[in-house]
Amino acid sequence: MNFPLYLFIAVVITGIIYVLNRVMTLPKWMNEYLGSFFPVLLVVFVLRSFIAEPFRIPSGSMLPTLHIGDFILVNKFSYGIRLPVLNKKVIDVGDPQRGDVVVFRYPRDEETNFIKRLVGLPGDKIEYRQKRLTINGKQIDVEALGEFSGSQAGEPGLLADMLEEDLSGRKHKILWDEGGNNAVFEFIVPDGQFFVMGDNRDHSNDSRYWGFVEDRLLVGKAFFIWFNYNKGSFNWSRIGDSII
């Protein structure tokens, strides 16, 4: 469902009724049940389109950074101001940086939103072998932190090694599953595109398998966890955490 388009249409229709009611007498039901929603819909539309948009994490591909059931906020202007619905950038604000956690429209189905960590910038040579990431000939440093159990993160069957990875001075946690995929990948990132990976490296459907993310598909930068609810349970400790 193209929610931004439907929201835009709702704003236009209720806005027309709202304005017409100021210059002529409309049926009471039309103003009360349609026109009265215009201010609320307009505020939601502006906030969602230009400031921040909420998303819910449905899978464990970004563990341990993001848990299943996390409700997050995404900064919509980090990478530029875009026209709603058309998603066309009209004002440059900033460029994506290596290490950002980004929401984007899935290249193979642009109606679906994905969230991953931005690993490769345009022109980068990316290698991944024996579960180690190499960027432009430099192997990325990792530090072992012990075991991670998915039982507290919505993935009760997951037991993996947790490590801290240092992407150009930006440290974050990742998972290695010893029984996971040990395939070798090597890419050069094209101009205007990005290479993304999940922090749960052996359980993530990402750029290693379906390619790069074009700049036009970027939705924004994830920055805040405001709630967590999964399978009838609340995890209050997740509320208020920053996303790094």
Residues 6+ apart with CB under 8 A from 140: 132, 133, 134, 165, 166, 167
CA geometry: angle 42, 47, 50, nearest 5 deg: 115
* Active-site choice (49, 76, 116, 204): 116
The answer to whether 36 is a known catalytic residue is no
Tokens of 89: 């950038």
From 61, 78, 204, 207, active-site residue: 61
Name the residue among 56, 73, 30, 86 with its Cα closest to residue 220.
73
Query: What is the C-alpha separation between 203 and 61, in angstroms, rounded?
Result: 6
Q: Which two tokens stand for residue 57?
A: 């994490």
Whether residue 37 contacts residue 16, with contact meaning beta carbons closer than 8 Å, is answered with no
State how far the Cα of 226 lies from the Cα of 175, in Å rounded to an integer: 23
> Which two tokens mark 112?
């679906």
What count of other Cβ atoms lies within 10 Å of the Cβ of residue 130?
6
Q: DSSP strand E in 110-217: where?
A: 113-120, 125-129, 132-135, 138-139, 142-149, 159-167, 170-176, 185-188, 193-197, 213-214
CB 189 within 8 A of CB 195: yes
Active site residue 116: yes
User: Which residues are known catalytic residues?
Assistant: 61, 116
